[in-house]
Amino acid sequence: MLKRKVAPAVFLTLYAPLSGEVLSGNSPIAFLATKPQIFVLFLAIYGIPVMLIREAATRWKLNAAGVILLGFAYGIYNEGPLAGTLFLYDHAPMPVFDWYGCAFGINVSWASTILFYHAFNSVFAPIAIANYLFQDRAQKSWITKPVMIG
For 110-128, the pLDDT digits (tens) are: 889 999 999 999 999 999 9
- Tell me the β-bridge partners of 102: 107
150, pLDDT greater than 50: no
Q: Are 119 and 74 in contact (CB under 8 A)?
A: yes
19-24's contacts with Cβ under 8 Å and 24+ in sequence apart are: 19/46, 19/121, 19/122, 19/125, 19/126, 19/129, 20/46, 20/118, 20/121, 20/122, 20/126, 21/46, 23/121, 24/117, 24/121
For 48-63, the pLDDT digits (tens) are: 999 999 999 999 999 9
Tell me the pTM.
Answer: 0.88
The CA dihedral of 97, 101, 105, 110, to the nearest 10 degrees, is: -40
Give the pLDDT mean for 90-99.
76
146, pLDDT greater than 80: no
